[in-house]
Amino acid sequence: MLESSIISCAVTGGGETHKINPAVPVTPKAIAEEAVSAALAGAAIVHIHVRDPGSGSGSMSLELYRETVDRIRDSGSDVIINLTTGPGARFFPSPDNPRHAAQGSTLSSPEARVEHVLELRPEICSLDIATLNYGANAMINVPAHLTRMAELVQAVGVKLELEVFELGHIRLARDMIENGRITGTPLFQICLGIPWGAPADAETMLAMRNCLPPGSAWAAFGISRMQFPSVALATILGGHVRVGLEDNLYLARGQLANGNAVLVERAVNIVESLGGAVAKPSEARRILGL
């Protein structure tokens, strides 16, 4: 176990989960308020997506990101901001010509996917080292696009959080590290239970942890009912943890979470009950070299 565990909170995501749990924040104001409440509950990092305020669907709008980030910063919270670069990878093949995109595809250029990061300069941004079937569509992240995105954000001093959904993604990330495309001490996020990636179980988390480059910082999460068991597993295996309404809508079976703070509080209780300590943002910055 680590001396101190960093808790990240993924506060909203981009799926239509607000239709299931009305506590999922949609507007920049609500997303920022959830981020601040998660920080007060013990999260050192908040992972941010934005949503269209009208429809609630995921968005790539720079202005929505700007308002959300400004609100968090203006709150006085010292929480570490981690902006996603995941949107812009979704592809649905057209039934008439699979070489063309069908409605719902968001496949975008590397530059478009990191525009908000270059403009707003968070301390961390995610990079999905992932091409995989994702529900009914594909999430496409080819090496050339990943290399370009990494180059752009690292040039402005933003640290990459490498999101990996299966063992092959770790192999690709290691190649990018060894060839100098990803610099500094690597930070991995092991993402488990996502259809159709690696399952959320102890054997898989251990296998993926064992494949990481020596000296890497890493965290892990499992979605849905595996959120809290994954907190315990990651803590025991020497990793940091992630919770939040992006990954899980429930506090217990049949009981919707009324916000992100209660999920963070449960994670704090798990870490501390195992004999660990929870890192404050200042300590997380030291651990991650921010």
Convert the pLDDT of each residue in 49-75 to its tens digit.
999 999 999 999 999 999 999 999 999
Helix axes 260-273, 28-41, angle to 10 degrees: 20
The pair of three-digit structure tokens given for residue 129, joined into one six-digit string: 């080292």
Convert the pLDDT of each residue in 30-54 to its tens digit.
999 999 999 999 999 999 999 999 9
Rounded-to-integer distance, Cα 281 and Cα 7, Å: 9
User: For residue 132, which phi and psi values (nearest 5 degrees)?
Assistant: -160, 160
Average pLDDT over residues 191-219: 97
Task: Place 22 in a pLDDT band, splitting at 50, 70 and 90.
Answer: very high
Convert the pLDDT of each residue in 242-274 to its tens digit.
999 999 999 999 999 999 999 999 999 999 999
Average pLDDT over residues 105-133: 96
For residue 136, pLDDT beyond 90: no
Convert the pLDDT of each residue in 151-174 to its tens digit.
999 999 999 999 999 999 999 999
pTM of the full predicted structure? 0.96
- Which residue matches tokens 């063309």? 100
Q: What pLDDT is attached to residue 173?
A: 98
First to last CA, the chain: 22
Which helix (H) or strand (E) is 70 found in, with range?
helix 62-74
Calculate the average pLDDT of the chain.
96
**Beta-carbon contacts of residue 265 (< 8 Å; ≥ 6 apart):** 41, 42
Domains belonging to the chain, first-starting first, are 7-288 (3.20.20.70)
State how far the alpha carbon of 9 is from the alpha carbons of 118, 156, 208, in Å.
22, 24, 21
Among residues 29, 5, 27, which one has the least CA distance to residue 268? Answer: 5
Report the share of the chain in percent with pLDDT over 90. Answer: 97
Please check whether residue 168 is in contact with residue 174, taking contact to mean a CB–CB distance below 8 angstroms: no
Helix (H, G, I), strand (E, B) or coil at 127: strand
For residue 184, pLDDT beyond 90: yes
Q: Hey, how many other C-beta atoms are within 10 angstroms of the C-beta on 25?
A: 25
Q: What pLDDT is attached to residue 134?
A: 86
The pair of three-digit structure tokens given for residue 154, joined into one six-digit string: 């690292």
Please check whether residue 243 is in contact with residue 231, taking contact to mean a CB–CB distance below 8 angstroms: yes
For residue 130, pLDDT beyond 90: no
